């Protein structure tokens, strides 16, 4: 059942569950931070409305910098602001930032330890009809290898707002990953959120498997758990929103309880959240793992729903992965 | 900032000292770049010893001028100048490029107080300087941002993205200095990927442009002062320099872009630099 201690959305499994894009949380979180702290500034590379930075732009035009279609320039300008007392948020599509400007971020923000938060939007196949060029499906892999950066993938718009605010209150580089289309609201304002905190959103007695899910696909994982339980298979579902630093302790503890693992992410299975879990468990508690995500392929144009199904990240795919991994124990 | 005759002489002597220290520093390091650092010694002497409002005892002073080195590979000249200016002991120059040193092969902001930006990968300095200049405007601080760049890194797209945006933001608190020495690792810039005409390129991007002899300290100081009288526009000072300046066998030789001298070459170089002392002074008399 949904963990009663976490104040999750009680209408989660209703057909008319409220939906909102996680990127909306970026917009409102950034606006709130801007209201609290005049040292918060924001930049974008010609994608103000699409990344929801426009809310901040309208309220604080003097603290907003439109850089135009130049992601490397945006990153290094952000770096200069971030070492000059500013808390800097920069947003674009993740394929361009941190994609196109990867080395600029590496040198001038991460290694340089500048106070810059990189908001990567339009992540995953969920980006939909724009096609594979605009679907960021390697961004976790390329940011996760950087020493000393925080990486957060919120599961819904509410957590998106909380994550944005939390990174703004901590000095240092951070990567926030957002998605384009509307997805179910899973949490509430009361649901606890801290960087590095991991909670089981679906709990049960005697679970046989733990599903670690990140981003909006957490919803599919929760629906899978609900349906699996009806069919007699008990699992835990964990919202793994902070991918780095990974809460190793919690990952090990949850795996110890279940003995098998499924990871779920709208990202390549190579180098993503599932890889982070696998690295942790290979060191401390080798366990059978199945990885739900893009299987070493680019996706294509289509609706988010069609793409999630074709590329095997649906509720059914998660259920299959659970049954398979339990069979491997 | 006025430059009296006496101060000019002092700065010229400092530039010679910088060149003399670059040679043993590179020899000890066993790798690194020779031509660029020697070519920029006059400008570094003027910036760190006369122009910039900096205090080696207070490297984090909020209103300090920012010196942003974009082409990090010429850091030997920056390290030597900073040591002579009192940021750290001259003795420490021997640790350049060695394990556990604060003097990284390319400068790292986190490693050494007084360094404003991590650099090495080219084309990123002007953008970072823009960020610092924007912060000054937001905070209503009057510090000035000086960004030192190479000519070769004007082949990077990021450089021109930055040039475009500094004009948009009307950053009259930003002065970019280009070391126009015409060489890069693979050869002469105009053979590798022509950069001319630099002046017109910058002018067409709506910058105020000055061109100087990069070995003439009073010309450089005048240019910096001139830049400060320009409003709502960033300034670029194209400093024409001789790579390897002061060491005849290195001068204008692109092969010296990216290598240090050996023992024999270092001896020869030092001898030349010491006897050149009178000559460099007389050029400005």
**Is there a shared CATH topology between the A19-184 domain and the A196-327 domain?**
yes
Model confidence over B216-239: pLDDT tens digits? Answer: 999 999 999 999 999 999 999 999
Structure tokens belonging to residue A191: 């649901």
Q: H or E element: which one contains B128?
A: helix B125-138
The answer to whether residue A83 neighbours chain B at the CB level (below 8 Å) is: yes
> Which residues of chain A does B120 touch, with a Cβ-Cβ cutoff of 8 Å?
107
Taking the C-alpha atoms of residue A80 and residue A4, their distance in angstroms, rounded to an integer, is 45
| Beta strand B174-180 pairing with B183-184 | unpaired
Q: What is the pLDDT of residue B2?
A: 80
Q: What is the pLDDT of residue A217?
A: 98
**Range with the poorest average pLDDT among A48-57, A134-143, B127-136, B274-283:** B274-283
Q: Domains in chain B, start-ordered, CATH in brackets?
A: 5-283 (3.40.50.970)
Q: Which CATH class is domain A19-184?
A: alpha beta
When pLDDT is cut at 50, 70 and 90, the band that residue A122 belongs to is very high
| Beta strand A199-202 pairing with A235-239 | antiparallel
Q: Are the beta carbons of B169 and B126 closer than 8 angstroms?
A: no
Q: What's the rounded mean pLDDT across residues A13-33? A: 98
- The alpha-carbon gap from B90 to the nearest alpha carbon of chain A, in Å, equals 25
When pLDDT is cut at 50, 70 and 90, the band that residue B279 belongs to is low
Q: Are the beta carbons of A121 and A91 closer than 8 angstroms?
A: yes
Chain A, residues 31-50, CB within 8 A of chain B, namely: 41
Examine the pLDDT at A164 and tell me if it is beyond 70.
Answer: yes
Q: What's the rounded mean pLDDT across residues B258-277? A: 89
Chain-wide mean pLDDT for chain B?
95
Question: Testing the interface with B: which of A39, A62, A65, A76 to mutate, by most B Cβ within 10 A?
Answer: A76
Q: What is the pLDDT of residue B210?
A: 98
- The alpha-carbon gap from A244 to the nearest alpha carbon of chain B, in Å, equals 22
| Domain edges within chain A | 19-184, 196-327
Question: Testing the interface with A: which of B62, B126, B131 to mutate, by most A Cβ within 10 A?
Answer: B131
Vertex A11 angle, CA A5 and A15, to 5°: 150
> What ipTM score was computed for the predicted complex, to two decimals?
0.95
Q: Are the beta carbons of B72 and B86 closer than 8 angstroms?
A: no
Q: H or E element: which one contains A202?
A: strand A199-202
Q: What's the rounded mean pLDDT across residues A60-65? A: 98
Q: Are the beta carbons of A293 and A125 closer than 8 angstroms?
A: no
Q: Chain A to chain B, count of Cβ pairs less than 8 Å apart?
A: 103
Model confidence over A191-240: pLDDT tens digits? Answer: 999 999 999 999 999 999 999 999 999 999 999 999 999 999 999 999 99
Q: What is the pLDDT of residue B275?
A: 73
Nearest CA in chain B to A69: B161
B158–A76: do the CB atoms touch at under 8 Å? yes
Taking the C-alpha atoms of residue B273 and residue B20, their distance in angstroms, rounded to an integer, is 7
Q: What's the rounded mean pLDDT across residues A115-122? A: 98
Q: Are the beta carbons of A150 and A172 closer than 8 angstroms?
A: yes
Topology, domain A196-327: Rossmann fold (3.40.50)
> Which residues partner with A102 through β-bridges?
none
Give the other-Cβ count within 10 Å of A192's Cβ: 11
When pLDDT is cut at 50, 70 and 90, the band that residue B281 belongs to is very low
Taking the C-alpha atoms of residue A186 and residue A226, their distance in angstroms, rounded to an integer, is 14
B134–A68: do the CB atoms touch at under 8 Å? no
Q: Write the burial class of residue B30 (CB in 10 Å: 0-12 exposed, 13-18 middle, 19+ buried).
A: exposed
Q: Where do the DSSP E strands lie in chain B?
A: 66-69, 145-150, 174-180, 183-184, 187-188, 208-213, 235-240
Task: Considering only the beta carbons, identify the residue of B62, B128, B139 that sits closest to A76.
Answer: B128
Q: What's the rounded mean pLDDT across residues A155-183? A: 98
The answer to whether residue A108 neighbours chain B at the CB level (below 8 Å) is: yes
The answer to whether residue B129 neighbours chain A at the CB level (below 8 Å) is: yes
Q: What is the pLDDT of residue B285?
A: 34
Model confidence over A69-97: pLDDT tens digits? Answer: 999 999 999 999 999 999 999 999 999 99
Q: Is the dihedral of CA A296, A301, A303, A306 positive or negative?
A: negative
Q: What is the pLDDT of residue B274?
A: 86
Taking the C-alpha atoms of residue A326 and residue A290, their distance in angstroms, rounded to an integer, is 10
When pLDDT is cut at 50, 70 and 90, the band that residue A43 belongs to is very high
Nearest CA in chain B to A86: B135
Nearest CA in chain B to A74: B127
A257 closest CA partner among A285, A279, A225: A285
Cis peptide before A98 (omega within 30 of 0): yes
B121–A107: do the CB atoms touch at under 8 Å? yes
Structure tokens belonging to residue A300: 């294509």
């Amino acid at each position: 059942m949904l963990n009663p201690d976490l104040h999750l959305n009680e209408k989660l499994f209703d057909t008319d569950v409220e939906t909102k894009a996680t990127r909306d949380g970026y917009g409102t979180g950034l606006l709130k931070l801007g209201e609290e702290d005049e040292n918060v500034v924001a930049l974008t590379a010609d994608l103000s409305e699409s990344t929801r930075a426009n809310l901040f732009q309208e309220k604080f035009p003097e603290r907003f910098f439109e850089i135009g279609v130049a992601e490397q320039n945006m990153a290094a300008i952000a770096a200069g602001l971030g070492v000059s007392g500013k808390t800097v948020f920069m947003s674009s599509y993740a394929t361009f930032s941190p994609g196109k400007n990867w080395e600029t971020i590496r040198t001038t923000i991460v290694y340089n330890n500048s106070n810059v938060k990189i908001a990567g939007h339009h992540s995953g196949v969920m980006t939909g009809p724009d096609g594979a060029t605009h679907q960021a499906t390697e961004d976790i892999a390329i940011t996760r290898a950087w020493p000393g950066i925080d990486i957060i993938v919120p599961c819904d718009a509410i957590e998106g707002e909380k994550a944005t605010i939390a990174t703004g209150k901590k000095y240092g580089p951070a990567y926030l990953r957002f998605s384009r289309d509307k997805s179910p609201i899973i949490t509430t304002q009361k649901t606890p959120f801290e960087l590095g905190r991991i909670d089981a959103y679906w709990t049960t007695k005697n679970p046989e498997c733990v599903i670690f899910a990140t981003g909006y696909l957490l919803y599919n994982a929760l629906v899978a758990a609900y349906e699996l339980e009806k069919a007699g298979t008990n699992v835990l579902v964990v919202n793994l929103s902070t991918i780095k630093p990974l809460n190793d302790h919690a990952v090990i503890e949850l795996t110890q309880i279940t003995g098998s693992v499924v990871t779920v992410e709208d990202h390549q299975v190579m180098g993503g959240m599932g890889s982070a879990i696998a690295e942790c468990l290979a060191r401390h508690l080798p366990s059978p793992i199945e990885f739900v995500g893009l299987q070493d392929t680019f996706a294509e144009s289509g609706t988010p729903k069609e793409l999630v199904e074709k590329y095997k990240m649906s509720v059914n795919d998660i259920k299959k992965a659970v049954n398979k991994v339990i069979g491997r124990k | 900032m006025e430059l009296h005759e006496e101060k000019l002489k002092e700065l010229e002597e400092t530039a010679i000292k910088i060149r003399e220290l670059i040679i043993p520093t590179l020899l000890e390091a066993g790798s690194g770049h020779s031509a660029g650092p020697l070519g920029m010694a006059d400008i570094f002497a003027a910036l760190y010893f006369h122009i910039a409002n900096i205090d080696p005892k207070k490297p984090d002073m909020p209103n300090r001028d920012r010196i942003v080195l974009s082409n990090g590979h010429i850091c030997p000249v920056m390290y030597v100048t900073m040591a002579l200016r009192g940021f750290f002991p001259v003795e420490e120059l021997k640790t350049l490029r060695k394990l556990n040193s604060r003097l990284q092969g390319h400068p790292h902001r986190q490693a050494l107080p007084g360094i404003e930006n991590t650099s090495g990968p080219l084309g990123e300095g002007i953008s970072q300087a823009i960020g610092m200049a924007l912060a000054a405007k937001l905070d209503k601080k009057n510090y000035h941002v000086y960004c030192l760049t190479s000519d070769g890194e004007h082949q990077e797209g990021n450089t021109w993205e930055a040039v475009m945006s500094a004009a948009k933001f009307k950053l009259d608190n930003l002065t970019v200095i280009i070391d126009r020495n015409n060489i890069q690792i693979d050869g002469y810039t105009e053979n590798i990927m022509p950069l001319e005409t630099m002046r017109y390129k910058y002018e067409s991007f709506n910058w105020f442009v000055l061109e100087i002899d990069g070995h003439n300290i009073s010309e450089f100081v005048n240019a910096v002062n001139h830049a400060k009288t320009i409003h709502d526009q960033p300034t670029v000072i194209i400093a024409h320099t001789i790579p390897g300046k002061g060491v005849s066998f290195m001068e204008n030789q692109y092969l010296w872009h990216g290598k240090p001298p050996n023992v024999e070459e270092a001896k020869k170089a030092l001898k030349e630099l010491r006897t050149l002392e009178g000559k460099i002074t007389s050029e400005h008399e």
